[in-house]
Amino acid sequence: MAEALDAADQLAGIRAWFVLDETVYLDGNSLGALPMTVPGRIEDVIRRQWGALRVGSWAEEGWWTAPERIGDRIAPLVQAASGQVVVGDSTSVNLFKSMVAAARMAAADGDGRREILVDGTMFPSDRYIAASAARMTGCTIRPVEPVRIPAAVSDRTAAVLMNHVDYRTGRLQDLPFLTACVHEAGAYAVWDLCHSAGVLPVGLDEHGVDIAVGCTYKYLNGGPGSPAFLYVRRDLQDRFDSPLPGWNSHAEPFRMKAEYEPATGVSRGRVGTPDILSMLALEAALEVWDHLSIDAVRTKSLALTDFFLECVAAYVSPGIVEPLTPAVHAERGSQVALRCPDAAEVMTRLIEAGVVGDVRPPDVLRFGFAPLYVGFGDVERAARVLARTLSEVAVPSGS
């Protein structure tokens, strides 16, 4: 079965773009594999651009404009027009800028909105950042389960922060519906796309998302610590009041004026000097997308996760694992989460056997399926190794 699926896979050839070995790598939702284009590009950046051209590379090699240029390369992957995405800083920093800016826009609207709602299932760091933004802007913060957001938004709501894909379970939230609910209440919708950018269509422009952030080291394969991205809808950019008004986002950064004057457009989302080595590694990694459509990637993602769930059901003894990831395609990202006893020990043994995933305490095995380099043979092998490992380690739930 796996052999036939691999033979019919139209994206199978993309695997050759990556540095891989015999390991089944199912942790692309933590750190994407290394694209072949990156090492040579970074050697050029270091030896020629930095080593020979030195400071001249800011102009001659386009270092200064890299945040916007690379943002425009990411924009089609999240279905946004050019000029709305800028690359730089970390996800947390961009999230802080976004939440403060959203709260400030709500305050400027003049209707007394002082509550920020946050997705109650979100990655903890997002909540920490949102709480800090709330303190800074005089707002209160309230965690709400995503399913309850439509009933929770009100005329008190300034902004709502939501994760597109739940980092633990892989559940895909209904971005069009929830964004519409937030807008109907007169609030601003901010989305974290860390677990969706690069594996499924997002539709930022189509669905009128206000602000979004995302990392680039997962499914965009930008490398460890690669810079994050920030999307600000075009009609909101002149109102985006960043709490970190660095010199890079100044209208005239080289005039060294004492007073801050924000740049026009999405560039006002910049802060300080960009990390050029990581930035240009990301740019090289994104070249693979010149040959791909996000819809084709989504189709393979669903096929891979379907096949894994089928293999797990076929090979694993009943009652040992409980799938947490929804079976319904419209509710699934590109990972599969399984609850089982002794999850940490199981994953340790899986990695020793050449199948790499990760664990989310206390009992969740997490497998991320990066369609650009994971094949159906990988999936079947992973399920067989999982079944063997579980038979040695785990005890059926309820026994």
Q: Which residues are catalytic?
A: 123, 192, 217-218, 366
Rg (CA), the chain: 22
Structure tokens at 139: 């707002």
Residues ≥6 apart with Cβ < 8 Å to 388: 353
Q: Which phi-psi region, left, alpha or beta, contains residue 88 (left: φ > 0; alpha: ψ -120 to 50)?
A: left
Name the maximum alpha-carbon separation found in the chain. Answer: 71
Residues ≥6 apart with Cβ < 8 Å to 116: 99, 103, 130, 133, 134, 139, 140, 141, 142, 157, 158, 159, 160, 161
Whose tokens are 């390991």? That residue is: 23
User: Which residue from 210, 114, 202 is spatially nearest to 161, judged by alpha carbons?
Assistant: 210
- Pairwise CA distance, residues 282 & 273, whole Å: 16
User: Which residue from 172, 224, 175 is spatially nearest to 199, judged by alpha carbons?
Assistant: 172
Q: Are 228 and 90 in contact (CB under 8 A)?
A: yes
Q: Within its chain, how far is the Cα of 100 from the centroid?
A: 20
Q: Are 390 and 353 in contact (CB under 8 A)?
A: no
Residues ≥6 apart with Cβ < 8 Å to 239: 101, 105, 108
Find residue 86's DSSP bridge partners: 230
Report how far apart, in Å, the C-alpha atoms of 184 and of each of 116, 164, 210 are: 16, 19, 13
User: Which residue from 392, 301, 383 is spatially nearest to 338, judged by alpha carbons?
Assistant: 383
Q: Are 220 and 74 in contact (CB under 8 A)?
A: yes
